[in-house]
Copies of this chain bind each other. A is one copy, B any other.
Amino acid sequence: MHSVLTVEHHAPSLDRATTYTALIPDTGTPPFAVLYQLHGASDDHRAWLYKSNILRHVDGLPLVVVMPSGENSYYVDAWERMVVDDLPAHVARTFRVREGRAAIGGLSMGGFGAIRLGLKYPEKYASIYAHSSKLVETGDDHDAAVIAAQVDRKKMPALAFDCGVDDYLIEHSRTFAATLKSLGLPHEYREHPGAHTWDYWEEHLPDALAHHKQVLGL
């Protein structure tokens, strides 16, 4: 299985120490592609590792998985800089990762982060997969629909997302899917049985990994 690394470092955008978890493949040959996987509100860099079986699901994939702490930031402002600038810079100087675009994913607040950052920085991310996303319509730069309307279509990442039919946030995903359709932006949106729970994310994490695998050509 992948090695599990706990990385304590200084993040310039936060001007302080923070910690991320990284999974490093024990098969395949570096340089490796990278997936940035974001947690939801109230959680931290350990959430995916502790509450899902992500370590087993990535077994055999030549993919470095980087899981930062985003606190309750929604990955905007200083945390946007942390995820988009600091983290890739730290990963690139530390690990043997390939150049070129990464994948980004997450759940709930992290699903929002994955979609918003993925579409806002298409030169950095080739693949997006979000679960149960919290996509509030604010009408400004924090609004994924506003970002989507401005996306550089030539660089548009391969975008997929899903949501459980009993998720209290499902209208967020449905509305966003309708917006993408009206904008003519390619995407995959799927609904499955389930609610806003780790059982749901555990079940659909493999869908996300399969998407990234295909897009990144792994």
Contacts and interface: CB of A to CB of B under 8 A. Distances in A.
Nearest to A29: B93
A42 interface: yes
A138 interface: no
Interface residues of A, number: 42
Contact of A44 (B17, B29, B56): B17
A53 B52 contact: yes
Contacts of A29: 93
7 tightest A-B contacts by CB?
Answer: A3-B9, A17-B44, A6-B6, A4-B8, A16-B42, A50-B55, A5-B7
12 contacts: A4-B50, A5-B7, A10-B26, A10-B42, A16-B41, A17-B46, A18-B44, A29-B93, A50-B55, A53-B202, A94-B95, A95-B95
